[in-house]
Amino acid sequence: MELQKSGFDLGPLVGDLNLDEDTGSFCSDDVSLEGLQEELEECKEDDEVANILSKGTKLREHAKGVENNIRQVELDSIQDYIKESDNLVSLHDQIHDCDNILSQMETLLSGFQAEIGSISSEIKSLQEKSMDMGLKLKNRKVAESNLAKFVEDIIVPPRMVDIVVEGEVNDEYLRTLEILSRKIKFVEVDVMVKSSKALKDVQPEMEKLRQKAVSKVFEFIVQKLYALRKPKTNIQILQQSVLLKYKYAIIFLKEHGKEIYNEVRAAYVDTMNKVFSAHFRAYIQALEKLQMDIATSSDLIGVEAWTVGIFKKGRSSVFALGERINILKEIEQPSLIPHIAEAGSHKYPYEVLFRSLHKLLMDTATSEYLFCDDFFEEGSLFSEIFAGPFTVIDEHFNSILPNCFDAIGLMLMIFIIHQHQLIMSRRRIPCLDSYLDKVNISLWPRFKMVFDLHLNSLRNANVKTLWEDDVHPHYVMRRYAEFTASLNHLNAEYGDGQPDLNLERLRMAVDDLLNKMAKMFTRPKLQTVFLINNYDMAIAVLKEASAEGGKIQLHFEEMLKSNTAVYVEELLLEHFSDLIKFVKTRTSEDMGSSTGKPSITDVEPLVKDFANRWKAAIELMHKDVITSFSNFLCGMDILKAALTQLLLYYTRLTECVKGVSGGSALNKDLVSISSILYEIKKYSRTF
């Protein structure tokens, strides 16, 4: 550390190095000292080198010292080995003994290995024998199983023969038929069975059993079918509780007695066809006794009242919907029971009977379709069974439809059919789809034909015979309003907008007829009153049926508004003609021109005349309105409009008076606006 601190310099020491003559004599030319300084710099960090250089020890002496140390260490090591020689000899002997023992173990293990190899060969041999025996056992079990199954499937036990030949057709008999069916299929399907000798003994007996079973099942099923023909038999209960229990008998016939199955099928179709045809025919005959005649070919909108029989039946029954719409809310109610309805002396519009008949048809068809699909597994059987009932219903419908002139009833029937189609769709029963479509297709043309009769009755109406010297609503307009309101109501709730175009054509026809009848009045005022009363009545009827109104109602409201304005002017002209003419002519002229400016002599008679009789005139207007308009509310609205218009005219007159020279002299004769407003409010309170 001191050398490091003092910055030890190797230069002087290197310069003092002297070599003995033993080392040889070296010239500066033989030894190169190049790079010595760098090597010394690298070694100065070594402690040993630094120690030698610091002491000034010569290299040869130091080398001799090191050699002597090594020799001393060698001698010491030899002494140590000599001291341990006995231990080494003992260790050698122990190693030799271990080697002998391991040699013996190797011999022993080699023997064990040979014995294990022999045992492994024996185990492998035993394993092969075991696998061979297992395979033989498996094959024998398979053979035993197949043989047992073959014996079981081919033999005909005595018990089976007794049941098939002598037993009654019941649950046990059906289970025996299933076993017999499996045996027959086994014999027919398996090719190897057909070549077996056992089959030759069994097949004749099996065929006899098949024939006996088919014959017995046929007799049993036919007997059950005859029970369906008995009067007052509940067919659905018999089908569900009796026939379905013996469904497998039909399956057996279908598989092993196809000809007999076809006979049973034909017998069932024939039986149910006749039974259902008779039931529907009897039901239709009973319903016909309950029918209420609503409309005839002369019950049309534009026909004279004395030729129409609606006064005996009630006018609303022909043209108004009324309570008849309830049939659409009772669409899924049970069918009518005719004898109960007849006992109560009830009569119904045809759409009620129509719904009842088709409700019975839907329920019967649904039950029969499901039964055929379950019992015979043939949904197509339905069309054969119901060919007869469809014919019976078609005959009835074809006799009713050509004589039906009830447009409301026809529209109700169209919606009934639509609802029935939805019901069958929800039931997922498709058997009536084509029939209901056919009925729907036949109803629309008939409705269009009857609708056109109403339309033509308006277009071709004799105005002279229809006209009555009465400004109150005309019965033709009431018929039209009720008829349109009925169709609008039905179309809004249940329809798809199809009648809209036809209703617009009907509206145009009735408008034309109404204007023609109005012109029959000699006085224009009466013409206007007649139109107002009819429009007001039509609007009221349409609003009652549907709050939303529609295009037709909006049209009538516009017509009512325009005719009301005309009537107000006519009413005011009747009582205040001079005042109105003056206000319309003189006040509209240029007040600045000397020629057009009214004088006091022009306005004085008007002011005094109005002051003398304005209250009496308003009272006369009130009486006129009360007697002219059948709807009190409408009349009061018209009177209020007239008085308001009168107030406007009089206000313009008073303004004119103020602008006239010397007009202040007439102030005492002017009626105050507040007085006129008071009178208006007085009649408003009456309203």
DSSP letter at 631 equals -
pLDDT of 44:
66
Q: Tell me the average pLDDT across 172-183.
A: 85
Q: Tell me the average pLDDT across 318-326.
A: 87
Q: Tell me the average pLDDT across 274-291.
A: 93
Rg (CA), the chain: 63
Residue 274, by phi and psi: left (phi above 0), alpha (psi -120 to 50) or beta?
A: alpha
pLDDT of 38:
74
Most confident of 192-196, 563-567, 673-677: 563-567
* CA 47 to each of CA 4, 42, 60, 192, 215: distance values in angstroms, whole numbers, following the listed order: 10, 12, 19, 110, 130
pLDDT at residue 13 is higher than 80: no
pLDDT of 230:
84
pLDDT of 311:
42
pLDDT at residue 196 is higher than 70: no
pLDDT at residue 268 is higher than 80: yes
pLDDT at residue 544 is higher than 50: yes
Tell me, letter by letter, the H, E, C secondary structure of 5-28: HHCCCCHHHHHHCCCCHHHCCCCC
b/e per residue 216-227 (b: at least 16 CB within 10 A)? bbbebbeebbee
- Tokens at 673, concatenated: 């606006």
* CA 387 to each of CA 270, 382, 393, 432, 439: distance values in angstroms, whole numbers, following the listed order: 10, 8, 10, 12, 15
* CA 626 to each of CA 472, 540, 566, 642, 684: distance values in angstroms, whole numbers, following the listed order: 12, 18, 17, 13, 13
If one counts every other C-beta atom within 10 angstroms of the C-beta of residue 476, the result is: 23
For residue 565, count CB atoms less than 10 angstroms from its CB and return exposed for 0-12, middle for 13-18, buried for 19 or more. middle
Q: Tell me the average pLDDT across 147-157.
A: 67
pTM of the model: 0.70
pLDDT at residue 600 is higher than 50: yes
- Residue 398 phi, psi (nearest 5): -70, -20
- 552-593 pLDDT, tens digit each: 999 999 999 999 999 999 999 988 888 888 888 875 554 444
| Bigger pLDDT: 668 vs 5 | 668
pLDDT at residue 308 is higher than 60: no
- 419-439 pLDDT, tens digit each: 999 999 999 999 999 999 999
pLDDT of 396:
95
pLDDT of 74:
86
If one counts every other C-beta atom within 10 angstroms of the C-beta of residue 479, the result is: 27
- Mean pLDDT score across all residues of the chain: 83
How far apart are the C-alpha atoms of 507 and 478, rounded to whole Å? 13
- Tokens at 7, concatenated: 């910055």
Task: Name the strand (E) or helix (H) holding 590.
Answer: none
Residue whose entry in the numeric block shows the structure tokens 């021109």: 593
pLDDT of 56:
63
- 639-654 pLDDT, tens digit each: 888 988 988 988 888 8
Q: Tell me the average pLDDT across 93-114.
A: 88
pLDDT of 546:
74
* CA 61 to each of CA 16, 51, 70, 368: distance values in angstroms, whole numbers, following the listed order: 15, 14, 14, 136
- Residue 302 phi, psi (nearest 5): -95, 15
- 522-534 pLDDT, tens digit each: 999 999 999 999 9
Number of separate helices (H) and strands (E) present in the chain: 30, 0
Domain assignments of the chain as residue spans, ordered by start:
2-83, 158-256, 286-518, 574-686
pLDDT of 141:
81
pLDDT at residue 21 is higher than 50: no
How far apart are the C-alpha atoms of 181 and 165, rounded to whole Å? 15
Task: Name the strand (E) or helix (H) holding 358.
Answer: helix 350-375
pLDDT of 608:
87
If one counts every other C-beta atom within 10 angstroms of the C-beta of residue 77, the result is: 10
- 23-82 pLDDT, tens digit each: 444 444 455 666 767 776 777 677 776 776 676 666 677 778 888 888 888 888 888 888
If one counts every other C-beta atom within 10 angstroms of the C-beta of residue 251, the result is: 18
DSSP letter at 333 equals S
**Torsion over CA: 293, 298, 301, 304 (sign):** negative
Under 8 Å between Cβ of 288 and 400:
no
How far apart are the C-alpha atoms of 236 and 242, rounded to whole Å? 10
The pLDDT-based confidence of 88 (bands split at 50, 70, 90) is: confident
Q: Which of 575, 552, 566, 456 minimizes the C-alpha distance to 518? A: 566
The answer to which of 208-222, 359-373, 488-502 has the lowest mean pLDDT is: 488-502
